Amino acid sequence: MRPTFGREYIENEFHRIGDGLSEPHTVYLIGGGAMSLRDLKGATKDIDLVVPDGDVYGQLWDDGALSLENRKEITSEVSGELFHLRNSVEKHRPEEEYSAIRERIAQTKERIEKTAWQLEQLSSPKAASYLRRGLDSMVTFAEYATDGFRCCGSRTLLNEQWVRSPSGASVTGCDGARRD
């Protein structure tokens, strides 16, 4: 079972992260994390932050082990894997070829896990941990497809719901899933 994060944890993490920054930055906590921080929800499964620009994003992700160029390269690699997964869902879902989608999900998870392992070897455990924690949620839309659900419409998932930050990071949102 995935860990959950309550108000105290969120506040402590913000203080810990803030202590590591050279100057103050504004970030926006949204979703369940914002609700937990305001005591409107007991806990959340993930922390969703919106940052104003790529420099702030880079500082939050920086663990001193990788250059910005290397981080961009890794982000691009992971994004590429998710694009391939999305394309596989687009190709196989209409024909109800769910085993092909499941195979691609497994392949995507394996490749991203390998990237996380490589990050550990490069002395970047923070980034490796981030990938591992987010891996299941990265492939949720494809797993829904194998159960006959469609998330955010068939063509809009990447075109309208994915946002690319100036640093090259991808953020996705889904308004909900519906069963066809």
Residues spanned by the domain of 105: 68-179
Tell me the per-residue pLDDT of 73-126, one tens digit each, with 9 for 90 and over.
Answer: 888 888 889 889 989 998 998 888 989 999 999 999 999 999 999 888 888 887
On whether the CB atoms of residues 92 and 144 are closer than 8 A, the answer is no
On whether the CB atoms of residues 10 and 32 are closer than 8 A, the answer is no
Q: Domain tally for the chain?
A: 2
Are 13 and 87 found together in one domain?
Answer: no
- Which bin fits 24, alpha (ψ -120 to 50), beta or left (φ > 0)? beta
> 2 lies in a domain?
no
> 56 lies in a domain?
no
10-23 CB burial, b ≥16 within 10 A, e <16: beeeeeeeeeeeee
Tell me the per-residue pLDDT of 26-69, one tens digit each, with 9 for 90 and over.
Answer: 888 888 888 888 888 898 887 787 877 767 766 666 666 777 77
pTM over 0.85: no
Are 74 and 29 found together in one domain?
Answer: no
Taking 50 as the threshold, does the pLDDT of residue 171 lie above it?
no
CA pair distance 18, 13, nearest whole angstrom: 8
Are 81 and 137 found together in one domain?
Answer: yes
Tell me the per-residue pLDDT of 119-152, one tens digit each, with 9 for 90 and over.
Answer: 888 888 877 887 888 888 888 888 888 877 765 4
> 121 lies in a domain?
yes
